[in-house]
């Protein structure tokens, strides 16, 4: 199998499964963690990711799951074209991340790691997919939804600084268009960012 | 060796430590004197008591810094002080003294960000060029990388810092602050891992859940096992978020600075996390990991060499100055 990327949380391989192109997401053991913690995290996150991907499928495109093991998920290969690379030329594309996040929140799912590397364009179905549910959870708390929005803001500041204003506005437009309580959640985001360490003048735009 | 000709004084007074250091523009540390306020065991740092301590020791610390360096006030090219972030009353002690020296001896004055001090002194002492910075002290738990004229934040704590977690844990089991080394010793005797909340959100992390859970189970578990479990959980979270930042930024160096950098177990974990991504770990020498005057003196030089300084009437403090708002005058 071919290693595609080595993340912090898992290694991603490209391979085949029952005659189909497949992605193997492997949560390898971390040599620096004590085994109790390492095993707990790998098991918990693998199971959680598989469950949440299934739950999310009712409202957003996520890859089809072929197999779930102890610390491995084999899933449909939806491609390599990431939203991350598209935003520079077309900041308004950020809208799709907003829509998907809003739809997830509407059914009580916090993504936990929403960023532009986790939104992938599938050429054959002509649709964007959202992936990487290892840190996600079922919740009804506005605080959790607001944390997702805060994380997007942080990622945009760091990775899409040149197009930040337009991209983040597009994201919020998409988010508000499908989220019933968007206004209240956005208020909560401001509260989180005020609470952050010395966050007084953080550049959160509205 | 040419030690340099320009000498500057740096004064540090953000929290526990009152420190003063004389350095040259070539980075030679001619003196680095400090006196650390130690609150009674089991209680935290009270800003008023700490600032009283600082006012009492300040004259002798500064005098010693000058005499050990073999210079007088007249020889100084500037005086730099920590302007934030930190405890208001403590910051004011350093700022007031710096302002006095600046106006009485007619020297330029330079306000310095405490966190930038940790980072830039680390760059000088470790020789790191373009690292992912892990800044871990009482006031900061942040992952940083240089972007243009700013240090940019790539991940940070959503609530308390790693230093605060360890101090609060220490206090809960009756240790004096700062509790870092004592907690580290206890942890070495821990045998059993007690499950604690492990909270990573994107590139950010949250430590407040750990302290709440520890307080809930404190009577049921031994201090050794708790210390071990707190360290393992908190450090693993930091190592994981560092890995996330490394995977994103593809840096070849990781530099660890701040008081908690002195912890051996943490260094071991960050070393393993870095090597998974082909990066080399560089750690600030233990003597300069904690708060000290040298971190302020060195940043003072970086500004002074680039012509950035001010007059005493412009001296100010900012308790909540964010590191990513600091304009850096040097490349």
Q: What percent of chain B has pLDDT over 90?
A: 79
| Residues A95 and A134 reside in one and the same domain | yes
Say if residues B238 and B141 touch (Cβ distance below 8 Å): yes
CATH number at residue A8: 3.30.200.20
pLDDT digits (tens, 9 = 90+) for B140-169: 999 999 988 899 888 899 899 999 999 999
- What pLDDT, on the 0 to 100 scale, is given for residue B178? 81
Indicate the residue among A76, A93, A110 that finishes a domain. A76
Give a yes or no: residue B331 inside a domain.
no
- Residue B246 phi/psi, 5-degree rounding, is -65, -45
CATH number at residue B45: 3.30.420.40
State how many domains chain A has.
2
Catalytic residue, chosen from A11, A113, A144, A173, is: A113
| Residues B241 and B221 reside in one and the same domain | yes
What is the residue-wise DSSP string for B223-257?
HHHHHHHHHHHHHHHHHHHHHHHHHHH--SEEEEE
| Residues B111 and B16 reside in one and the same domain | yes
3-state helix, strand, coil in chain A (%, to 5): 45, 20, 35
Q: Active site includes A113?
A: yes
Say if residues B138 and B16 touch (Cβ distance below 8 Å): yes
Contact (CB<8Å) A196/B156: yes
Mean residue pLDDT of chain B comes to 93
Indicate the residue among A61, A76, A91 that finishes a domain. A76
- What pLDDT, on the 0 to 100 scale, is given for residue A128? 98
Give a yes or no: residue B45 inside a domain.
yes
pLDDT digits (tens, 9 = 90+) for B202-231: 888 999 999 999 999 999 999 999 999 999
Interface of B with A (CB under 8 A): 85, 139-142, 147, 152-154, 156-159, 161, 193, 195, 198, 200-204, 232-233, 236, 239-241, 243-244, 246-248, 268-269, 271-273, 276-277, 320-322, 325
Give a yes or no: residue A204 inside a domain.
no
pLDDT digits (tens, 9 = 90+) for B224-274: 999 999 999 999 999 999 998 998 888 999 999 998 988 999 999 999 999
**A196 touches B at CB < 8 Å:** yes
- What pLDDT, on the 0 to 100 scale, is given for residue B218? 95
User: In the predicted model, what is the mean pLDDT of residues B28-34?
Assistant: 97
Owning domain of residue A146: 81-195
| Residues B53 and B187 reside in one and the same domain | no
Q: Give the SS3 label for residue B65.
A: helix
- What pLDDT, on the 0 to 100 scale, is given for residue B320? 86
- Choose, out of B83, B201, B327, the residue to mutate when testing the contact with A (most A CBs < 10 Å): B201
Give a yes or no: residue B124 inside a domain.
no
pLDDT band at B324 (very low <50, low <70, confident <90, very high): confident
Q: Which of A40, A115, A192 sits opposite B202 (nearest CB)?
A: A115
Q: Considering only residues 126 to 145 of chain A, which have any Cβ-Cβ distance to chain B shorter than 8 Å?
A: 135
**Cα B261 from Cα B286, distance rounded (Å):** 7
pLDDT digits (tens, 9 = 90+) for B274-310: 999 999 999 999 999 999 999 999 999 999 999 999 9
- What pLDDT, on the 0 to 100 scale, is given for residue B45? 81
**A9 touches B at CB < 8 Å:** yes
pLDDT digits (tens, 9 = 90+) for B88-146: 999 999 999 999 999 999 999 999 999 999 999 999 999 999 999 999 988 899 999 99
| Residues B179 and B48 reside in one and the same domain | no
| Residues B283 and B293 reside in one and the same domain | no
Would you give per-residue pLDDT tens digits along chain A (206 residues)?
899 988 778 999 999 999 999 999 999 999 999 999 999 999 999 999 999 999 999 999 999 999 999 899 999 999 999 999 999 899 999 999 999 999 999 999 999 999 999 999 999 999 999 999 998 999 999 999 999 999 899 888 878 888 999 999 999 999 999 998 899 999 988 887 776 654 443 333 33
Contact (CB<8Å) A8/B156: no
Give a yes or no: residue B236 inside a domain.
yes
Give a yes or no: residue B134 inside a domain.
yes
| Residues B177 and B224 reside in one and the same domain | yes
Contact (CB<8Å) A33/B243: no
Owning domain of residue B22: 7-118+289-325
| Residues A64 and A96 reside in one and the same domain | no
- What pLDDT, on the 0 to 100 scale, is given for residue A197? 53
**Cα A107 from Cα B29, distance rounded (Å):** 59
């Amino acid at each position: 199998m071919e290693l595609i990327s080595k993340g912090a949380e898992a290694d991603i391989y490209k391979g085949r499964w029952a005659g189909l192109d497949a992605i193997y997401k492997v949560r390898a053991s971390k040599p620096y963690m004590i085994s109790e913690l390492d095993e707990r995290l790998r098991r918990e996150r693998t199971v959680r990711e598989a469950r949440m991907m299934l739950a999310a499928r009712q409202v957003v495109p996520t890859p089809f799951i072929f197999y779930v093991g102890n610390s491995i998920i084999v899933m449909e290969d939806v491609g390599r074209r990431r939203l991350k690379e598209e935003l520079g030329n077309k900041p308004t594309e950020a809208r799709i991340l907003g829509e998907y996040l809003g739809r997830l929140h509407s059914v009580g799912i916090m993504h936990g790691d929403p960023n532009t590397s986790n939104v992938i364009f599938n050429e054959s179905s002509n649709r964007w997919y959202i992936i990487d549910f290892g840190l996600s959870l079922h919740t009804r708390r506005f605080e959790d939804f607001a944390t997702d929005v805060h994380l997007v803001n942080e990622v945009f500041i760091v990775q899409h600084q040149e197009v930040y204003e337009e991209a983040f506005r597009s994201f919020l437009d998409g988010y508000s268009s499908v989220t019933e309580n968007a206004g209240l959640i956005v208020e909560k985001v401001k509260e989180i960012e005020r609470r952050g360490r010395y966050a007084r003048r953080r550049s959160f735009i509205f | 060796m040419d030690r340099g000709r320009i000498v500057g004084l740096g004064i540090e007074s953000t929290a526990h430590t009152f420190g003063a250091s004389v350095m040259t523009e070539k980075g030679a540390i001619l003196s680095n004197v400090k006196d650390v306020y130690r609150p009674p065991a089991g209680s935290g740092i009270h800003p008023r008591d700490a600032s009283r301590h600082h006012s009492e020791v300040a004259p002798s610390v500064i005098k010693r810094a000058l005499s050990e360096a073999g210079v007088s006030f007249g020889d100084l090219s500037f005086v730099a002080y920590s302007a934030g972030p930190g405890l208001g009353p403590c910051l004011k002690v350093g700022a007031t003294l710096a302002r006095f020296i600046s106006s009485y001896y007619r020297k330029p004055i330079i306000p310095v960000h405490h966190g930038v001090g940790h980072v830039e002194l680390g760059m000088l002492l470790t020789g790191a060029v373009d690292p992912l910075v892990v800044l871990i002290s009482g006031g900061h738990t942040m992952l940083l990388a240089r972007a243009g004229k700013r240090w940019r934040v790539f991940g940070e704590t959503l609530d308390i810092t790693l230093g605060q977690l360890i101090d609060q844990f220490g206090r809960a089991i009756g240790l004096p602050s700062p509790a870092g080394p004592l907690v580290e010793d206890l942890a070495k005797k821990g045998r059993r891992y007690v499950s604690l909340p492990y909270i990573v959100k994107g590139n950010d992390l949250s430590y407040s859940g750990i302290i709440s859970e520890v307080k809930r189970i404190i009577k049921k578990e031994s201090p050794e096992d708790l210390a071990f479990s707190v360290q393992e959980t908190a450090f693993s979270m930091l190592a994981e978020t560092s890995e996330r930042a490394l995977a994103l930024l593809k840096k070849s160096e990781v530099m660890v600075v701040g008081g908690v950098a002195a912890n051996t177990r943490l260094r071991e974990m960050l070393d393993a996390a870095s090597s998974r991504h082909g990066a080399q770990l560089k750690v600030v020498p233990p003597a300069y990991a904690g708060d000290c005057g040298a971190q302020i003196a060195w940043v003072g030089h970086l500004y002074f060499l680039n012509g950035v300084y001010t007059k005493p009437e412009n001296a100010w403090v900012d308790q909540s100055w964010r590191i990513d708002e600091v304009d850096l005058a040097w490349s």
